[in-house]
Amino acid sequence: MVKGVRFSGVRSGIKAAGLDLGLVSFDEAVPHAALYTRNKVKAAHILYNERRAARRVAALLVNSGCANACTGENGIEDLATIAKELAGRLNIREEEILFASTGVIGRRLPVETVVAGLPALVAGLSGGRLEVFARAMMTTDTYPKIVEERVPGDGGCSIAGVAKGAGMINPLFATMLAFIFTDYPLDPIRMRRLLPTLSRKTFERISVDGDTSTNDTVMLFSTKPGAPAQAGTGSLKQTLARVMKALALLIVKDGEGATKVIHLTVKSAQQKRVAEALARRIAGSPLVKTAFFGCDPNWGRVIAAAGDAEVPLDPEKVEIAIQGEVLAREGIEAPFSEEKLKGLMAAPEIELVVDLHDGRASYDMYTTDLTYDYIKINASYRS
């Protein structure tokens, strides 16, 4: 358990059913680092958070059921109203409060509903209620996503991460909220270096449907501000990386309607940017994803998507393998057993390797299959 932080969650009525309002309260105001969506359309909570003058954070309020995106200045003003009410109840400054929202785009937060839920939310704060907080920010998620680890060493420090996300998942962030808490001593400069570096290797390497949300948010908090001991920073970085990767995999495994997770590796490229572009194009291809859903070893869809990535590619060097079985070599089909491949592709986790035989750079990421249930879930999302 991370020391110096408490959690809570309630059903306020933003959603028709279930918990929809979560609160994090810190014993003392703490430093943080944040990353937000690269979508040019940004939710009100991002615009509000970026306008804050305070350097430290005393509370984080998260809601589900309403994205509070595309709501103009009214959406930002609504958060200011809520901040004033919450600050009074927590005896903190309004500027020390951060927000995060997830849900349907285009609707303003019901301010009176949120404010009415604050007394119970504050009263329920406890160090042991991380799961309640995690459930309060779920939308189409089927389970709460929580990862906890101890940092190796004598300090007895911990890291706890919580995330939500299942659809509108794209590697340049997703309909994803992720919050990571640690009582390991960290100064703001170190935090702001660590978070983007580790996010590029974790949260930015998952994809469900290739759509980037207006609300994507990742935050890192340290409840013990200060410069880390140099001897322990390696252990911290490794543990933090494991927590973030585990959270990212929980998101992709819970992809809307998904039945399979595909680990895609593009290797032997001339440059990393080429490998990344190819990986992202293949991972986002509906035809590739539906082939995996149908256990169809249709490698032609993979090479066709690769050829459309707008980066240099020599198809006569490309080798494609699924679950270790080579389907294509030097850009043409290699002998393989279709029956065997269909069986291998029925597994819940599948390895897809695209070898360019053109260099030493590589890039890997995780994606899902595309199913009938994905369409059903998103065809009725507003209702």
Residue 257: the pLDDT is 77
Rounded to 5 degrees, φ, ψ at 376 are -60, -45
For residue range 166-175, list pLDDT tens digits in order: 655 454 554 6
Measured distance CA(261)–CA(19) in Å, rounded: 28
| Residue ranges of the chain that CATH labels 3.60.70.12 | 5-253
Residue 217: the pLDDT is 93
- Measure Cα distances from 174 to 100, 206, 210, 335 in Å: 14, 9, 8, 38
Q: Residue 10 contacts by C-beta under 8 Å, 6 or more apart in sequence?
A: 19, 20, 21, 117, 120, 121, 124, 136
Residue 231: the pLDDT is 47
Residue 171: the pLDDT is 46
Q: Do the bridges between strand 332-333 and strand 349-355 make them parallel or antiparallel, or are there none, so unpaired?
A: unpaired
| Residue ranges of the chain that CATH labels 3.10.20.340 | 261-379
- Is 182 considered catalytic here? no
Measured distance CA(335)–CA(346) in Å, rounded: 20
Per-residue pLDDT of the chain (383 residues; tens, 9 = 90+): 899 999 999 999 999 999 999 999 999 999 999 999 888 899 999 999 999 878 899 999 999 999 999 999 999 999 999 999 999 999 999 999 999 999 889 999 999 999 999 999 999 999 999 999 999 999 888 899 999 999 987 578 999 999 998 655 454 554 689 999 999 999 899 999 999 999 999 999 988 766 677 889 999 999 987 765 554 567 899 999 999 999 999 988 887 778 999 999 999 999 999 999 999 999 999 999 999 999 999 999 999 999 999 999 999 999 999 999 999 999 999 999 999 999 999 999 999 999 999 999 999 999 999 888 888 877 765 54
Q: What single DSSP character describes residue 71? A: -
Residue 54: the pLDDT is 81
Catalytic member of 37, 71, 140, 175: 175
Superfamily of domain 261-379: ArgJ beta chain, C-terminal domain (3.10.20.340)
pTM, two decimal places: 0.89
Superfamily of domain 5-253: L-amino peptidase D-ALA esterase/amidase (3.60.70.12)
Measured distance CA(306)–CA(315) in Å, rounded: 9
